[in-house]
Amino acid sequence: MNKEKGFETRVIHEGYDSSYHHDSLAPPLYQTSTFTFENAKQGENRFAGEEEGFIYSRLGNPTVAMLEKRMVSLEGGEAALAFGSGMAAVSAVLFSLTKANDHILCSQGVYGCTFGLLQLMNEKYNIDHSFSAMDSEEELLNKIEPHTRCIYVETPINPTMQLIDLEMVVSVAKKKGIPVVVDNTFCSPYLQRPLELGCDIVIHSATKYIGGHGDVIAGIIVGKEDVIATIKMTTQKDIGGIISPFDAWLLLRGLKTLPVRMDRHCESAEKIAELLKNHPSVEKVIYPGHSNHPQYWIMKKQMKKPGGMISFTIKGTKEDSQKVMDELNLIKIAVSLGDAETLIQHPATMTHAVVPAEFRKKMGIEETLLRLSVGLESVDDIWSDLNQALSKISVGTATENV
């Protein structure tokens, strides 16, 4: 029996056989809208599902198929689908799993656009939703309703960095026969693999760590073959939120360095988080790698490393937090994450601005909260920029370099 190759090998080689593609070292880009048939019967057979082969790039494309096969291997699933954005992936999954009068149970916090989608589904299609802390089996059971059709989880939660014990959620969900969907964007499959913990579908905004270079918008889902096939032939095919072959090619290229990048993101984030904790302008640092994080034990159990994302609150007002961002030079103000560049944003007025203030408060999104995506630059340079910006509102003295 052949031993499965290591993660670091699979991100480079899985899903691609060069002998089928003129021995090209790099996977080819099949930039085509459609595919020709040898004859009418072949076209009939392919549409009937009686013969394998590509038909039309909205229904499948060789470059996209390579990406999907690679993600299946990395997440430990059976099948995958790539989409034109992370939100196309989220909406496809939620629309596929629900119908009018159903209910979705969500983790206490979700990405702002996911929140907006949930509101839209409620207003237009009477698909209800509610939020749960998911901190115990009892609390979770109390939140599940007779018409709950899906449990939707972010962990770590964007941007509060709260963690959810996925094995606990799965144990409750299985008793009730409810699928568990996990947004794994903050971790990538290198740090966390929810399917191996019993979850049913994993979602990625592949724009982030999967791509890694800030040059592509994409989404990916991974799960069981029958579930993914249903989503592919209904929601994705008919709504059409597909990925372009070129974007799939960019993701294949980005994936090759995922382990190396994630190790660097995590290493630098741990150092920056520790330095932030001691800065006189910082009120609180929320980082899963700190032993005082409320769910530190969950991080140790289900994540390989604490990740490259840090949230922190500053001492002062919303205006003070915005001043910190405005004083930065190296670090860019932008609402993405997982790029080579270090990025910072103000969730209350940016990514989660669509969330009403009372809900933001319940989620733990304060007006002075900043979210930092630690990039691949020199950690000394990242800290030097943060330190000088924070010190503009500080009465204390600057802290030393790493």
Domain C-terminal end among 204, 234, 255:
255
Which residues share a beta bridge with 82? Answer: 220
pLDDT tens figures, 271-323: 999 999 999 999 999 999 999 999 999 999 999 999 999 999 999 999 999 99
Query: What is the rounded average pLDDT for all residues in the chain?
Result: 95
Minimal CA–CA distance to 349: which of 364, 376, 326, 369?
369
% the chain with pLDDT above 70: 97
Over residues 155-174, mean pLDDT = 98
- Whether the per-residue pLDDT at 396 is higher than 90: the answer is no
- E-strand ranges in 74-141 read 79-83, 103-107, 128-132
Q: CA–CA separation, 316 vs 319, rounded Å?
A: 8
Burial of 239 (0-12, 13-18, 19+ CB in 10 A): middle
**Do residue 74 and residue 97 come from a single domain?**
yes
Q: Are residues 205 and 325 in the same domain?
A: no
Whether 50 has a pLDDT exceeding 70, the answer reads yes
Q: 298 and 241, same structural domain?
A: no
Average pLDDT for residues 321-339, to the nearest whole number?
Answer: 97
DSSP string, 339-394: SSS-EEE-TTTTTTTTS-HHHHHHHT--TTEEEEE--SS-HHHHHHHHHHHHHTT-
Residue 2 has pLDDT above 70, yes or no: no
- Please indicate, yes or no, whether residues 229 and 312 belong to a single structural domain of this protein: no
Q: Which helix (H) or strand (E) holds 332?
A: strand 332-333
User: Residue 152's beta-bridge partner residues?
Assistant: 106, 181
Residue 277: give its domain's CATH number.
3.90.1150.10
The pLDDT of residue 35 is above 50: yes
On whether both 249 and 152 belong to a single domain, the answer is yes
Q: Is the peptide bond before 306 cis (omega within 30 degrees of 0)?
A: no
CB-based burial label for 35 (10 Å; 0-12, 13-18, 19+): middle
Q: For residue 396, is it within any domain?
A: no
The structural domain count of the chain equals 2
In this structure, is residue 34 part of a structural domain? yes
Are the CB atoms for 144 and 105 separated by under 8 Å?
A: yes
- For residue 156, whether the previous peptide bond is cis, meaning omega lies within 30 degrees of 0, is yes
Nearest to 215 by CA among 88, 67, 340: 340
Query: pLDDT over 90 for what percent of the chain?
Result: 94
Are both 237 and 289 inside the same structural domain? Answer: no
Kindly state whether residue 400 falls inside one of the protein's structural domains: no
Residues making up the chain, counted from first to last: 402
Where does a domain end: 198, 222, 255? 255
Domain stop point among 224, 255, 286: 255
What is the four-CA torsion angle of 168, 228, 232, 103, rounded to 10 degrees?
-30
Largest Cα separation within the chain, whole Å, is 78
The parent domain of residue 126 ranges over: 7-255
Q: Which residue has the higher pLDDT, 303 or 4?
A: 303
Of 191, 198, 199, give the one whose Cα is nearest residue 300.
Answer: 191
Give yes or no: residues 247 and 265 share one domain.
Answer: no
* pLDDT greater at residue 18 or residue 212: 212
* pLDDT score recorded for residue 398: 43
**Residue 249, domain CATH:** 3.40.640.10
The helix (run of H) or strand (run of E) holding residue 183 is strand 180-183
Residues 210 and 268 in one domain: no
pLDDT on residue 20: 83
Whether residues 128 and 224 fall in one domain: yes
**Cα–Cα dist 398/382, whole Å:** 14
Residues 6+ apart with CB under 8 A from 357: none
Q: Which two tokens stand for residue 82?
A: 């790539």
Neighbours of 69 (CB within 10 A): 15
- Say if 402 falls within a structural domain: no
Task: Using the predicted structure, report yes or no on whether residue 395 has a pLDDT greater than 50.
Answer: no
Q: Tell me the C-alpha distance between 314 and 280, whole Å.
A: 9
Closest of 204, 176, 187 to residue 93, by C-alpha: 204
Does any domain span residue 397? Answer: no
In 3D, which of 65, 81, 74, 90 has the Cα closest to residue 225? Answer: 81
Same domain (yes/no): 225, 170: yes
Residue 352 domain flag: yes
Are 352 and 295 in a shared domain?
yes
Judgement on whether residues 238 and 128 belong to the same structural domain of the protein: yes
In a domain, 207, yes or no: yes
pTM: 0.94
Cα 187 to Cα 51: distance, rounded to the nearest angstrom: 38
Considering the domain boundaries, does residue 399 fall inside one? no
